[in-house]
Amino acid sequence: MDYNHPRWPSPRAKLVVKKLNLDRISPWTRDRLKRLTHQQALGLLAGKAGKTIPEFLEMPKEEAWLALGSYTTYGWSHMPTKTPVDPLYRSW
C-alpha cells in the first residue's frame, strides 16, 4: 500500500479529496462518501488528474497540483502564468 508515500501520505490524500469536494456522491446532493479509505482517495485524485494511481504517484507535486486544478494565475497578458498552489492551503 501507499500509506507512507513521500508526496501523498495517508492523511494528506484524504484531506485533499475533501478540500476539492471529490468525495461527493453526486453533484446535485450534499451526500459524501462515508469512510473514505486512502486507496479510494488516491483513486479519486488520480481520476481528477486523468492518470492511473501509479502514474499519479510518480508525478512531481507541483505538476500534480496543476493537474488537480490547484493554481493561481498571474499576469495581464493574453497568456497568464499558472503557479501551482498546495490544495490544502489554497483559499477557494
**Tens digit of each residue's pLDDT (9 = 90 or more) over 5-36:** 888 888 899 999 999 988 888 778 778 888 88
For residue range 29-86, what is the model confidence (pLDDT) as tens digits?
Answer: 778 888 889 999 999 999 999 999 999 999 999 999 999 999 888 767 677 788 899 9
Residue 57: count other Cβ atoms within 10 Å of its Cβ. 18
- Rounded to two decimals, what is the model's pTM? 0.85
Residue 38: count other Cβ atoms within 10 Å of its Cβ. 19
Residue 44 near residue 25, CB atoms below 8 Å:
no
